Structure 1
Amino acid sequence: MNTPLPPPSDHQQALHEARTWLRLLNSGQATTWDGEGFQQWLQNAVHREAFQQAKAEWDLLNQAAQQRAQQVSAEQIHATTRHMRHRRRLLQAGTLGLGLTAGITVLYPPAELWPDPQQWGADARTRTGEQQQLTWQNATLNLNTRTSIQELKQQAGFRLLQGEAAIQINTKHDFEIHAGVARSRTRQGHFECKHLDNHTTLRCLSGELTVYHPYGERVLRTQQQLHYASTHISPVQQHDHRAPAAWRQGELSFEHTPLEQVITEINRYRQGRVVLLNTQVAQEPLSGRFQLHALEQAIIQIQHTFMLNSRHMPAGLIILS
């Protein structure tokens, strides 16, 4: 007599479904209908946990495949004759580009059919290149590209999960802004908050904002700003003007900014990815203002300024070398 197998656990079933979703979403055949179905499936906490595990497995496989491709490519290069080396280097760049495309397919899926893990649980979010204004309780919020916020359960306000937001508020009750390890409290004023890669910048255009951080308390007033991360908080600093950040005027503004940081910022607003392979110019400073609706022209300008070669790959990938 055959003993029946026990039914799979909820986690095992969710993990199987998560792997199925990953294969579909990376097949290039997923539809908008599939994306909506995936969003509904992801509302379940068990499903979200399973998808994180499945995506981690997928990333490891991609990493192993890229390493193997690079190893094979390197072996081929060493085996070539001297007069073929230049051509082989170009082929290696193409192989690297394909490997990067494979990895980016997972991190930046076509049409953004699923949100970044940092955006899970968000009550409002914007996609790449999107900006949005909304009324939030007693405040007016302007959300920049790839920004997600979550409602606070026991206090008026919101948590900035990632991205950048401008807040205007005038109320008789406390309103809080949570970002990273700190929380900020105000009742009236005009503020900007940027939270990326576990680093946060707070800027006060008008009013007053009290910041509560594990390493100290600060008060921001008009034309003041500060920065913090999990291990430190800066002193309060003066900034020169009351004008809103450049992104609220449809621009990106840089002043003696290292090129690799400029590329990182452009990638926040652009579908696809720009990859800088030339490490010799990565720290070269760049100053200028670029229109958000014309970032392709900005990339061309950067290419000519630093005398870089560009290679355009599928899915909006541009390799600068």
Structure 2
Amino acid sequence: MIEPNRQDRATNGDDDSVRRQAHAWVVRLTSGTATQDDAKALAAWRSTPEHDAAFRAAAGLWRRTGDALAATSGPAVAREAPRGMTRRRMLGRVAAGGVATASIAAAGATLVLQLPTLRAAYRTGTGEIRTATLPGGILIELDAESALDAHLDDMRQDIVLHAGSAAFTVPATRASLTVVVGEARLITEPSEPAEVVVRCKPRRGLSGWVGGQDADVACLSGRVTVVPAPGVPATRLAAGQEVGIGPDARGPHAIDVAATAAWRRGLLVFRDTPLSQVVDDLNRYRPGRIVVASSATAARRVTGVFHLARPEEALGSIRTALALSEVRFGDRLVVLR
């Protein structure tokens, strides 16, 4: 066998080190605990072509792993449990497999969307709600795990919502305000007061991997025009109406204004809401992650009023009301079945 020379060994060692660092950055960004300082440090690390290429390769591998697992996780098939395998242990293994698939798939989408969120001027963490007044008297209220940038100057007059939910209160004294969510735009009427709530989330499927977003736009007062995408006809909303943005979104429909964005009053209000959406909301206020094990369970409906400050209490009430079981992995990961 021919032994590689020292220079080759050094080069290979350097390449391995860069690859390990790139994978460590991917893990860090998809952990849910990355900070703005992490984003700045990553940008500095990727300033060299070698590091940038390694990071892109690691991110691509992570995304393809999620795709492969999602593609192979078909309907559950009943099989005889191996000897010595108790029902409890078997359920634990099945749940763990589902968690791995869901977590890696979600992490791939998170990786694409994380950097704009980390760099955002206005950002909230888990369980945090933030209020700020922008130039022109615009009041913004950010729900937990939300992020936006405001461009209110001579060059631009818009707000970009990157993640989560936000409420915008626009005074009558200013010109129209434009809020950007992915490809969509919503515009308030000039010189008219308006109150609008926008909720966005990564779009399902391939487009979600590259930053595609769905959204719900609710007009609580005033009027707002919603343009889902360039070239798509606009929808005009009056007070008490909501419209969805996305392939499977609902058209304009009436809403309960008092229940919409109840997080502003420290509450979560659900009325015949799919469990999948309820879990998404709870995950923004509870450390760790709640995962629903099957699509049938995710489609179950929830009605109730819960306090944001007590997410574990809300989880217990929902589990009892729907007669669900749970599997816990440590203190943070919960699988509902």
TMscore range, shorter length: 0.7 to 0.9
Q: What is the match of residue 210 of structure 2? A: none
Compared with structure 1, are the counterparts of its residues 265 and 145 closer, same or farther at alpha carbon in structure 2 (3 Å cutoff)? same
Aligned partner (choices 236, 246, 251) of residue 219 of structure 1:
236
Compared with structure 1, are the counterparts of its residues 49 and 91 closer, same or farther at alpha carbon in structure 2 (3 Å cutoff)? same
Q: Distance in 2 between matches of 1:61 and 1:280?
A: 25
Letter in 1 for 2:186: S
Which secondary structure does the structure 2 equivalent of 1:174 belong to?
coil
Length-normalised TM-score, structure 2: 0.70
Q: What is the match of residue 317 of structure 2? A: 301
Where does structure 1 differ by over 6 angstroms across 4 or more consecutive aligned residues? Answer: 13-16, 62-68, 230-233
Which secondary structure does the structure 2 equivalent of 1:270 belong to?
coil
Which secondary structure does the structure 2 equivalent of 1:293 belong to?
coil
Aligned partner (choices 76, 80, 83) of residue 82 of structure 2:
80
Compared with structure 1, are the counterparts of its residues 40 and 309 closer, same or farther at alpha carbon in structure 2 (3 Å cutoff)? same
Tell me how many residue pairs correspond in the alignment.
298
Q: CA deviation at 1:175?
A: 2.0
Q: What is the match of residue 207 of structure 1? A: 222
Identity among equivalent positions (%) equals 24
Letter in 2 for 1:304: T
Letter in 2 for 1:182: A
Q: CA deviation at 1:216?
A: 1.0
> What are the Cα deviations for residues 249-271 of structure 1, in whole angstroms up to 9, with x where unaligned?
11111111222332233223322
**Which runs of 5 or more residues in structure 2 are unaligned?**
203-212
Q: CA deviation at 1:248?
A: 0.8
Q: Distance in 2 between matches of 1:18 and 1:143?
A: 37
Q: CA deviation at 1:131?
A: 1.1
Q: CA deviation at 1:151?
A: 3.3
CA contact (8 A) 2:99 2:335 kept: no
Compared with structure 1, are the counterparts of its residues 291 and 302 closer, same or farther at alpha carbon in structure 2 (3 Å cutoff)? same
Q: What is the match of residue 38 of structure 2? A: 38
Q: Distance in 1 between matches of 2:292 and 2:94?
A: 12
Q: What is the match of residue 292 of structure 1? A: 308
Q: CA deviation at 1:143?
A: 0.7
Compared with structure 1, are the counterparts of its residues 207 and 99 closer, same or farther at alpha carbon in structure 2 (3 Å cutoff)? closer
Q: CA deviation at 1:54?
A: 2.2
Structure 2 residue 210 is the aligned partner of structure 1 residue 193: no
CA contact (8 A) 2:22 2:58 kept: no
CA contact (8 A) 1:14 1:46 kept: no
**Which runs of 5 or more residues in structure 1 are unaligned?**
none
Comparing 278-287 with 299-308, which one deviates more in the overlay? 278-287
Structure 2 residue 236 is the aligned partner of structure 1 residue 234: no
Q: Distance in 2 between matches of 1:135 and 1:220?
A: 24
Length-normalised TM-score, structure 1: 0.73
Q: CA deviation at 1:190?
A: 1.5
Letter in 1 for 2:235: R
Aligned partner (choices 182, 185, 191) of residue 184 of structure 2:
182
CA contact (8 A) 2:243 2:250 kept: yes
